[in-house]
Structure 1
Amino acid sequence: MQRINKNVILAVLTAASSLFLIFQLFYFKYYLSGKNGQGFSNLNGIISSQETIQWRVVKKFLNLVTNHKVPVFVVDSALLQVISKDVERLKSTPGIHPQCHCFCEHRDVTTFGLQDALWEANENFFRAAEKMGFQWQKYEGRDPRLEGIEDLSGTKIPLHYLFKMTSHIIHLVVFYERSSNYLWHGPLRLKRKMDRKFVPFRKLQFGHYAGAYNRPELILITADQIKMWIPKDPSEFLRETLHSRFLECRYKEARSFFQLYPDDYSVDAIEFRMHAKRLLHLATSTLGDIGVTFWLSSGTCLGWFRQCNIIPYSKDVDLGIFIRDYKPEIIPAFQKAGLQLKHKFGKVEDSLELSFVEKHNVKLDIFFFYEEDHYMWNGGTQAKSGKKFKYLFPKFTLCWTEFEELKVQVPCEVKEYVEANYGKNWDVPVKDWDWKNSPPNVQPNGMWPVDEFAEVIQIY
């Protein structure tokens, strides 16, 4: 037999290898092009770490809720932070992307939200979850929408569900509609006989306290071959999450207060509360339209905290605003809304205070707060003399609450805030209140120079 030339064999093998490599490259490109369908049926070879446990559990859970028409949406901060960086591409090109996007790093918990009004819990859903391999637990709490001074029964409602498979946890947070068109979720509280080792509860993002959110608009995206509903603006939802803590009105304490100090149901008190409520609604919409954050302050805050109501003898509505949030549009915005500017004391750099009045002579007082190293303060000015006063408060943050059918903010450290302003006996009504002498946190702060009176003492 004629001897085969080794160089020919080598050349043939090299050509065959090159053709095979070219075929593989062509096939890989063609397969991922999206022109002929989605191609891969799973993420093998696409996601680094070869289908993470989180990816598998999330995919199973979303298949479960899709089959049972349970409309969940992503509220997980870690997941939304990743998605927000590339949301437009994920929204506009829902096909397969070769790189791992959302489930590359190991995480113990993935969190979804669910609006209670959009589903009805049934046993079939939970049985199906068990058949898929999920263990689950339900956590209930009192329904604050049914509570009031007259009724403290608090019907139990589901607040949180936890689904566990292997080492991953799905946390399902139930959101409820509240009266002023926002969404609320309750805290996750463990009862005595509950399994405290079921999941690492400290790792849960939601449930340490109640929260309040604006109703999000949702969009559908596809990431890592999983379809998920997310808030249309993930960055805005993440900002809300940072400041979502919610404080409930203390109806039990309010009832005890009214047992000691019966409420005023006189015609004047009823009319004042009606006008003050309308004024508070007007102030909320006006400041909201120009993007200014505020909170209930002074007597209005005391009324919410002590008796879940407007104090009838206060004769005004009091709001606080951080001076960093001041905008020149505030005065013209309220004037456009129909309020008259009553006085303007101080200046932006020092002790600014605004007062407006509505047609029924109910005042809206806005106090601007300044921050120092160890405390916060707002100023006061005596118009006749030019004397300045300073009201000191311990540092505080802001929480949401519901008051007079409004979602508004109050200091989270509200007891300390109220005690600073009204002393340890804040729970005892005082009708004769002198703003210059009665508050325990007031102190002299010098005098305005006479040549500045025209600027810092403006009365209309």
Structure 2
Amino acid sequence: MCLWRRRKLRCFLFLLIASILSLIFQIWLIHNNAQFQGGSSFQGMMSKWLNTGNKDAQENLKLFMKHASQANLPLFLMDPSVLEAVRNVSRGSVDERRAPHHCRYLCSSQGVITLGLLGDSDVKLKPDLLQSLHDDGFQYVITEGHDPRLASVASMAAGKVPHHMLFRRHSFLIHIVVLYERPGKFLWHAAVEAEKTQKWMSLVENRELQFGEYEGAYDKMEIIPTKLDGVKLNIPKIPSAFLQQIPHARFLECNYGQARKFHTAYGSDQTAEGVEFVGKAKSLLSQGRAVLDRIGVRFWMSSGTCLGWFRQCGIIPHSKDVDFGIWIKDYKDTLIPAFQAAGLSLKHRFGKVEDSFELSFQSGDVKLDIFFFYEEDDIMWNGGTQARTGKKFKYIFPRFTLCWTEFLDMKVRVPCETLAYVQANYGANWYEPVKQWDWKNSPPNVQPNGQWPEEKWSEVIQLFDVR
């Protein structure tokens, strides 16, 4: 009898060890064979497997949304990890046999769900809503700040509106980002000044939030109702379009306080000529933006247009042109025909795509200069060409990234490192207005860059009659 029991035990242990080895082999096979991964990483697949029984996100979000629905809060899902899961399922890249239906989406949130709250109407949470949430175990903190729709108003600090809200139940967080529509017809959210809010820090507990490190700007989007893991939610109609904006959404507000000081010190050109030019320049900037957006080419405000935004939050009346910067890697052959089709005449074409490329278009008596930027080691540069002599010039900038801003009621890009960019181009005295400017000698970042061979002039120095 004892011998039989020993044999049964050995058999059981043998089968257990064999099962474990088989499981290890299957895990190794999935990890090392891309065809078994179904477009997702092994780690992500295992994470979903381990989260199969995790209903914390599901239950807490369902409870929160019940209260929010009763209060008619215009909330929508903007959580990147959950929206990515939604996009993957719509593409058919998630195997529904492997991903449990009851927590296919929300378990990917890792304990933090991000919702957007459209702040077009009164977004103050009513005391009875907060009390009912508190009664159901939610701790919360709400941060407030200036109303972005009044950003250019001198008394902007007087009015406070909600910026971010954080709700916590057990270890689960719901982060609400309040989005306001700006005059430029886009959505904006504030940064989180977490270091000023001890309660915020205590609720977050060093967990990473997806939004709030910087101010952000997003295109307006259509929101549609859906149900994820049994929870009724609103989501962007095209999740991929929203997800693509997230890495490039950083926003910079113009320094209106600095602009007011500038106008106090140096006055404001209100002559008929100056006012007329500003109106024409604004129209040309809007027209140029529309053309480049239509063909999918990124641009930013450069040179004097960038200086005008940074220094005085407006167009410099005596600048006489509008300046765009474009990465040479973003150039498309359709760019020139697109501008011409929009009614802008090509005034000159200097250099070539491989070196010192530059375009200028004319609209009435105002021109749009487009400078193409090249990347080289730790610098970026654009070129210039003197038509009379063929001499080449190089304008050097420290490396920079791009941010959104609002300028003349338009959503446009500027260098994020604006001060360094402006100082490179205009020197330490950039704050002082200068009406006499020689593009070949005045900029502190200009240097000679050789000369085009005379036999190449017909190719690299092209001037056009725009009368």
TM-score in same-fold range (> 0.5): yes
Partners in 2 of 1:193 and 1:176 — Cα distance?
22
Q: Indicate whether 1:128 and 2:132 are aligned.
A: yes
Please, what TM-score do these two structures have when normalized by structure 2?
A: 0.84
Amino acid in structure 1 at the alignment position of 2:77: V
Name the CA distance, whole Å, in 2 between partners of 1:202 and 1:274: 48
Aligned twin of 1:33: none
Does the 8 Å contact 2:395/2:447 carry over to 1? Answer: yes
- Residue of structure 1 aligned with 2:193, choices 185, 189, 192: 189
Deviation at 1:194, TM superposition (A): 4.0
Q: Kindly report which structure 2 residues correspond to 1:27-176, keeping only aligned pairs within 5 A, or say none.
A: 49-87=52-90, 98=101, 100-105=103-108, 107-117=110-120, 120-121=123-124, 122-148=126-152, 150-176=154-180
Which of the pair is proportionally richer in helix?
A: 2
Offset from partner CA, 1:14-50 (integer Å, 9 cap, x none): xxxxxxxxxxxxxxxxxxxxxxxxxxxxxxxx99543
Q: What CA deviation, in whole Å up to 9, does each residue of 1:85-134 have, x standing for no partner?
A: 013679xx9xx964631234571311000101256432222122112211
Structure 1 pair 113–323 and aligned structure 2 pair: CA distance change class (3 A): same
Check whether the contact 2:140–2:168 (CA below 8 A) recurs between aligned residues. yes
1:223 aligns with 2:223: no
Contact 2:52 2:103 in 1 (8 A): no
Match of 2:354 in 1: 349
Which digits, 9 at most, give the CA deviation of each residue in 1:327-364, with x for residues without a partner? Answer: 111111111211111101011111111111112x0110
3-state SS in 1 of match to 2:240: helix
Match of 2:430 in 1: 426
1:450 paired residue number: 454
Q: Tell me which amino acid in the other structure corresponds to 2:56.
A: I
Partner Cα distance (1:396, 1:204) in 2: 25
Question: 2:25 is matched with which residue?
Answer: none
Inter-CA distance 427–176: structure 2 relative to 1 (3 Å threshold): same
Q: Is the 8 A contact 2:82 2:108 kept in 1?
A: no
User: Structure 2: how far apart are the matches of 1:58 and 1:454?
Assistant: 67
Q: How far apart in 2 are the matches of 1:130 and 1:99? A: 27
When residues 144 and 221 of structure 1 are mapped into structure 2, their CA distance, relative to the original with a 3 A threshold, is closer
Contact 2:67 2:133 in 1 (8 A): yes
Q: Could you say which structure has the larger radius of gyration?
A: 1
Task: Give the Cα–Cα distance (whole angstroms) in 2 for the partners of residues 220 and 432 of structure 1.
Answer: 58
Aligned pairs, number: 410
Q: Deviations over 1:45-94 (max 9, x none)?
A: x995434322221121122212222121111111112221013679xx9x
Aligned to 1:370: 374
Q: Residue in 1 aligned with 2:14? A: none
Amino acid at match of 1:341: L
Which letter maps to 1:256? K
Change (3 A) 1:182 1:154: farther
Q: What secondary structure sits across from 2:103 in the alignment?
A: coil
- Counterpart of 1:334? 339
1:30 corresponds to which residue?
none
Cα deviation digits, residues 249-276 of structure 1 (max 9, x gap): 1001111111211111111110110110
CA distance in 2: counterparts of 1:192 and 1:51, whole angstroms: 33
Change (3 A) 1:349 1:98: same
Q: Quick check: 1:413 aligned with 2:412?
A: no
Rounded to whole Å, the distance in 1 between the matches of 2:346 and 2:218 is 32
Matches of 1:220 and 1:102 in 2, distance apart?
A: 15
Q: Alignment partner of 1:157: what SS? A: strand
Aligned-pair distance for 1:201? 5.7
Whether 2:225 is the aligned partner of 1:250: answer no
Q: What CA distance in whole angstroms lies between the structure 2 residues aligned with 1:283 and 1:343?
A: 16
Asked if the contact 2:148/2:180 (under 8 Å) is kept, the reply is no
Q: 2:282–2:408: 8 Å Cα contact kept in structure 1?
A: yes
Of stretches 293-302 and 105-114 in structure 1, the one that deviates more from structure 2 is 105-114
Rounded to whole Å, the distance in 1 between the matches of 2:340 and 2:82 is 44
Worse overlay, 195-204 or 394-403: 195-204
CA RMSD of aligned residues (A): 2.1
Q: Which runs of 5+ in 1 are unaligned?
A: 1-45
Cα distance in 1 for partners of 2:91, 2:207 equals: 33
Q: Distance in 2 between matches of 1:391 and 1:337?
A: 30
Aligned to 2:398: 394
CA contact (8 A) 2:182 2:188 kept: yes
CA distance 1:71–1:149, shift in 2 (3 Å): closer
Q: Residue 86 of structure 1 aligns to a residue in which SS?
A: helix
* CA distance 1:217–1:367, shift in 2 (3 Å): same
- Amino acid paired to 2:335: I
Q: 2-side partners of 1:148 and 1:181: how far apart? A: 16
Instruction: Give the deviation of 1:160 after TM superposition.
Output: 0.6
The Cα of 1:164 is off from its aligned counterpart by 0.6
- 2:36 corresponding residue in structure 1: none
Are the structure 2 counterparts of residues 302 and 420 from structure 1 closer, same or farther at C-alpha, using a change threshold of 3 Å?
same
- The 5-angstrom pairing of residues 195-214 of structure 1 reads 195=199, 196-200=201-205, 203-214=208-219
Aligned sequence identity (%): 50
In the aligned structure 1, how far is the partner of 2:155 from the partner of 2:280? 26
Which residue number corresponds to residue 324 of structure 2?
Answer: 319
Q: Which one of the candidate residues 441, 445, 454 is aligned to 2:445?
A: 441
Counterpart AA for 1:227: K
Secondary structure of the residue aligned to 1:112 is strand
Distance, in Å, in 2 between the alignment partners of 1:89 and 1:115 is 31
